[in-house]
Chains A and B, each alone.
Chain A
Amino acid sequence: MSIRIENVAKRFGAFQALAPLSLDIGEGEMVGLLGPSGSGKTTLLRIIAGLEGADTGRIWFGSRDVSELHVRDRRVGFVFQHYALFKHMTVADNVAFGLEVLPRHERPSSAQIKQRVGDLLDMVQLNHLAQRFPAQLSGGQKQRVALARALATQPEVLLMDEPFGALDAKVRKELRQWLRQLHEELKFTSVFVTHDQDEALELSDQVVVMSHGRIEQVDEPAKLYASPQSRFVFDFLGHVNVFEGQSYRGRLNQGQAWIQLPEQHLDSGELYMRPHEMRVTANPTTIAHLPLKVMAVNPVGAEVRLELVPLGWETSSPWELGLSHHEYQRWSLKRGDQVYVEPSKAHFFSQHTAAPSEISWPCTSTAGVVEV
């Protein structure tokens, strides 16, 4: 079932939790609401579920306007951040709850309920724990019980609030893959809230980035990373190196540093560059003069990560750069070494327009081959 959110706004006292916002979620899609705490993502999820009423706006499930429908009658599956399992009930009773509270004429027979609970517990691979109490389960197991319970009534919409927030990294990863599989099989429409960008990008068909009660951008994960539409999205997703400067004679200047700009970008402003869109050079090039000092070297992972601070110019936070292990060994960089950096691609936010423009530079032949 598709979900349509039209001009929904919510205010808690003086705090504008949600500015009027609209969003379309396609049938069978898995959508992540991503944002820092206080960005309104959980409020939006609770409004979709009906746990919270919107001040204005309408919510549609398919062609049905559910804005005035009580949470009980919306028939959505909901997984709470801390699972909210019924502590005094066994795992099986927890999962059966949604079926047992159905009105008599809709309720399956107790044998059917038992059968269905068994199937659901098989699906989440917890049948051997059916008679346990929630307190006897690990976090990952509780999470799966919560999912089985939410899916028991076969909802067409599944909503999850920070579904993996309270789990350790390894369990989180396993559960993510498993949830993805489950979604492929059952094809419910799913919306989940997260502040973890990896989670959002890995699970979602579409990611909704939110901040201060507004939607910043809605896009497929790859697009979101490759072409963010605002400074906020840039900052929030992955690391970004920012160069702020004044335009002068075709260059963006700041202190001793400058970057050559193509002709159509002759405004002052900021350049946003991803670490993989830059490379280390031994000397300044014709494109850029960016002297930096190596502050830290982290060799753990697929890449060696360098932390760089500017020399003779300024940034609000240190720059980060990735170097292949092979390259790193060739350069034999240490803490305190001076290097230069050259961008190959950047997003330019001028002072006068909100949307960025993309800039790319041709590869220079001198870079990267000179020994330090």
Chain B
Amino acid sequence: MAAKQSHRVGDHPLVKWTLIIVTLLLTSILLVVPLVGIFHQAFALGAAHYWASIADSYTLHAILLTLFVAALTVPLNLVFGIMLAWAVTRFQFPGRKLLMTLMDIPFAVSPVVAGLLYLLLYGRNGWIGSWLDEHSIQLMFAWPGIVMVTVFVTCPFVARELIPLMQQHGREEEEAAVILGASGWQVFRRVTFPNIKWALLYGVILTNARAVGEFGAVSVVSGSIRGETNTLPLHVQLLYQDESVAAFASASLLAGIALLTLIIKALVEWRQSRQDKLANAEPLVVADKVGS
């Protein structure tokens, strides 16, 4: 059988269509069907019941607490991420490589383990916790603990986005700005920030999505007290034990946030690629000549 030369290796139509169909099928079974299922279940008893489930005071509290935690986590990790990325890309110091590896611990370790570690340290009987307890400061089983573990779990996102960009960008533009007389703040605001702003936004979106959805670590340190330390993901689980429709209504909120995140992420990526295209554009041919 004479093979046609028009296909590259591995490009046979059979291979192509098998891969495409299997991928689509798996995507719908694994991703789309459950998502549709959540909304279907949430509205199973009608829209009125859906709104009633959400308007429940415990649910509203969980929503507010979740937003509150995210509102604290995101700025904290934004500042921390910029500092970390700046430190490892602009300076040489002993332990720099180690720091870049350590940075990924929150990705590598299970969130439950992270929660347990915080409990061990800051819990009433923990090393730091017992000292705090003497000064009647309670971190665990209260909102500060939830914020702490959420910060821990989401801390690599911003730095991860910034480091490759800042490494590739180098420091010449910043040096040029300083030579031209710019102060440290002016350099950041006028030169560094415009170059990293889209990556920064991307990092923020990911941080926010993860902060809102974090379950494992939060469930260990929160104690799941309804109306007090129950975040939305924990609330979904609690509700599911008594009434599934209300659970799905809350879950649909989380799914909605996820969808919104995806849309914003797609927009940001589109903006970024447009910016890259502009930056790598072919020079316009403009007739001009040096000298007289």
Contact = CB atoms under 8 A, between A and B. Distances in A.
Interface of A: 49-51, 71-73, 75-78, 80, 82, 84-88, 97-98, 101-102, 125-126, 128-129, 132-133, 135-138, 140-141, 144, 149-150, 152-153, 171, 174-175, 177-178, 181
A174 B181 contact: no
A101 B175 contact: no
A97 B290 contact: no
A101 B283 contact: no
A135 B281 contact: yes
A71 B178 contact: yes
Contact of B175 (A73, A80, A85, A174): A80
A88 B179 contact: no
Interface stretch (B34-42, B55-63, B135-143, B187-195): B187-195
A72 B286 CA distance: 35
A137 to B, nearest CB: 6
A87 B163 CA distance: 19
A178 B290 contact: yes
B286 A87 contact: no
A122 to B, nearest CB: 12
Contacts of B186: 101
A85 B177 CA distance: 9
B173 A97 contact: no
A59 to B, nearest CB: 15
B151 to A, nearest CB: 31
Nearest to B184: A72
B179 A78 contact: yes
Nearest to A138: B283
B179 A178 contact: no
B283 A137 contact: yes
A101 B278 contact: no
B265 to A, nearest CB: 22
Given A125-B288, A177-B291, A178-B290, A84 B180 contact: no
B280 A97 contact: no
B20 interface: no
B172 A72 contact: no
Interface in B115-152: none
A78 B278 contact: no
Given A128-B286, A136-B281, A97 B182 contact: yes
A169 B283 CA distance: 18
A344 B178 CA distance: 54
A128 B179 contact: no
Contact of A178 (B176, B181, B183, B291): B291
A104 B208 CA distance: 39
A346 B125 CA distance: 89
A75 B283 contact: no
A110 B5 CA distance: 65
Contact of A97 (B177, B279, B284, B286): B177
A169 to B, nearest CB: 14
Contacts of B281: 133, 135-136
B284 A136 contact: yes
A126 B288 CA distance: 8
Contacts of B177: 86, 97, 101
Contacts of A80: 172, 175-176
Contacts of B175: 51, 78, 80, 84
Contacts of B289: 125, 174
A101 B183 contact: yes
A153 to B, nearest CB: 7
A86 B283 CA distance: 16
B183 A135 contact: no
Nearest to B171: A84
A73 B284 CA distance: 37
Contacts of B194: 88
Nearest to B193: A88
A144 B286 contact: no
B283 A174 contact: no
